[in-house]
Structure 1
Amino acid sequence: MTTSFTSPLPQDIDALWERRTELTPDHTEARATIVGAVDELDAGKARVAFVDPATDEVVVDERAKRAILLSFKVLAMEESAIGSFNYHDRIPLKSRLEGVRVVPGAIARWGAYLAPGVVMMPSFVNFGAWVGSGTMVDTWATVGSCAQVGENVHLSGGVGVGGVLEPPQAAPVVIENDAFLGSRSMVVEGARVRTGAKLGAGTILTSSTRVFDAETGDELPRGEAPAWSVCVTANRVKSFPGGDFGLPCLLVLKRLHEGEEHDKLAMNALLREHGVNA
């Protein structure tokens, strides 16, 4: 991991973290510092994680995660209402929505960044998440806390992108640019979907999921959907004292050309050939 990264958030956050057990909403100076830091996340001026272009590794801003956790200490529970819907929470809903299409029923919390060009169908984007321009968060999709979703991504209906706040060292889920996640796919535990990867419907990817190439049988890095590939959930037989059992894995069905446009009809045909839908 790169060592040159410096958080854009104030160092005061680290000092407040050391005395977090004593913080309450009555600590007005601490609250102002923490709210200001989270507001930087909300505006997209800071983010919890990003891919370092020099090393191709995920860099996590631990100070940003600390600011998010500290906000639960210094923000009081408050009641709010939107129409006939009543809420009681510490974290308000997001109000910065310039250039974002938010369909009725969609919810984004303050501290999440939505770039101009994002479309939110009735869905949920949680605290500290980052969603890039041109991305569609489709119906009932969920973007978990601190998850990082790139540009021109399609999160199909019911997709679950897992969140992470604790332990502090844990890396969030990263969905890179131009990815496509088929309906009801789940990407959790800091797993990574690399640029241009396409996941078939119902695909499950965790940080410990084993990944195999269908053409060669080679095992690839765990917890990652390779760039410019079409992937599905499969099973690999493993022998135990009690018998042979199929354990889930990620199977790379096809490699795409770098930058290849997503042809949904072609991908549907490929997936249906193997008994999967997009």
Structure 2
Amino acid sequence: MSALESEITELWGQYQNDDVSADSAGEDAYATLDAFLDSLEAGEIRAAEKHGDAWEANEWVKQGILLNFGLRATEPREYGGVTYNDVLPLADSSDYGDRGSRNTPDGTVVRRGAHIGSDCILMSPAFVNIGAHVGDGTLVDSCDTVGSCAQIGANVKLGANTLIGGVLEPVENAPVIIEDNVSLGAGCRVTSGFVVGENSVVGENTLLTPRIPVYDLVEEEVLYGELPADRRAFTRFVESSISDHDLFEGGAYKPAVVATDLQTETLEATEREDTLRE
């Protein structure tokens, strides 16, 4: 256990036992919280990490985020000539250029405690919440939201108007995970701790949530809460169990996600392209 983890864990216990509050927290407590936010922004600590084949939440990191909400007072702050009220300021983006990253003006908001990697592009208006981790070379397109604690890998493309949900509580639950080299089409929604495996391509307006089944045609199985690596996924509608109901005609259908082999489809597309050029 690192010194920072030990300090956050101790402070969390005091907070849970009502031994410390926003009115009674001293300089040492706020120094710990500031160091915690600096470590999040630097990518030194993360709200979730992969162990073997599974992603697991770092509960103490999520506790540290909650402590920043519980022990800090809401204050009026300025951004773009507008006054807003929050417990935290926005992240300092002055060093983005040194790392090859850029955030366009007029509405790109990165909250304090979010990590933005090198060579990233953040298009306005986009919002990245506290605890989120955005890997190197990733595009966060216009009107995208990256929720609290969401883990976005390297070289990911989040299409315009994409929502990556946040999972802050309960602290033991892993957040939404988008692994390396994933491409999400415009208008996608990923919620409730769903995991999108590396190298996958997801069609526009696809909803990925543990409540909607993923029909994996590669392994011929039905999955919940995950899209395996190297898949091409898109929305389809399958027959519902209430399809024969007196209140409507023509059957009832429910959403589902179909996943096919990305590498096979890519190879076939390349072969078709070559045939057309011959």
CA drift of 1:15 comes to 1.9
Q: What is the number of equivalent residue pairs in this alignment? A: 255
Give the corresponding residue for 2:185. 182
Counterparts of 1:1-278 in structure 2, within 5 Å, are 9-20=4-15, 21=18, 22-28=20-26, 29-52=28-51, 55-96=52-93, 97-98=95-96, 99=99, 100-104=101-105, 105-122=107-124, 123-214=126-217, 218-240=220-242, 243=245, 245-256=252-263
Change (3 A) 1:7 1:198: farther
Q: Please, what TM-score do these two structures have when normalized by structure 2?
A: 0.84
CA drift of 1:240 comes to 3.4
Which deviates more from structure 2 when the two are superposed, residues 71-80 or residues 180-189? 71-80
Amino acid at match of 2:59: E
CA drift of 1:78 comes to 1.8
Amino acid at match of 2:171: P
Secondary structure at the residue paired with 2:5?
coil
Q: Which portions of structure 1, spanning 4 or more consecutive aligned residues, are displaced by more than 6 angstroms?
A: none
CA drift of 1:7 comes to 6.2
Does structure 2 conserve the Cα–Cα contact (< 8 Å) formed by 1:38 and 1:64?
no
C-alpha deviations, 1:192-247, integer Å up to 9, x for none?
1100111101000012321113477x224312122111101112213239635322
- Whole-angstrom distance in 2 between the partners of 1:127 and 1:210: 29
Change (3 A) 1:41 1:237: same
Secondary structure at the residue paired with 1:13?
helix
- Whole-angstrom distance in 1 between the partners of 2:174 and 2:23: 28
From the two aligned structures, give the one with the greater helix fraction.
2
Which deviates more from structure 2 when the two are superposed, residues 158-167 or residues 232-241? 232-241
- Whole-angstrom distance in 2 between the partners of 1:7 and 1:47: 13
Gaps of at least 5 residues in structure 1 are: 1-5, 270-278
CA-based RMSD of the aligned residues comes to: 2.4
C-alpha deviations, 1:69-98, integer Å up to 9, x for none?
000122222222234222211111000443
Change (3 A) 1:257 1:9: farther
- Whole-angstrom distance in 2 between the partners of 1:242 and 1:25: 60
Does structure 2 conserve the Cα–Cα contact (< 8 Å) formed by 1:7 and 1:63?
no
Does structure 2 conserve the Cα–Cα contact (< 8 Å) formed by 1:235 and 1:247?
yes
Q: Structure 1 vs Structure 2: percent identity of aligned residues? A: 35
CA drift of 1:254 comes to 3.7
Does structure 1 conserve the Cα–Cα contact (< 8 Å) formed by 2:200 and 2:262?
no
CA drift of 1:9 comes to 3.4
CA drift of 1:168 comes to 1.4
- Whole-angstrom distance in 1 between the partners of 2:218 and 2:41: 43
Secondary structure at the residue paired with 1:71?
helix
Gaps of at least 5 residues in structure 2 are: 246-250, 273-278
Q: Please, what TM-score do these two structures have when normalized by structure 1?
A: 0.84
Kindly name which structure, 1 or 2, has the bigger radius of gyration based on alpha carbons: 2
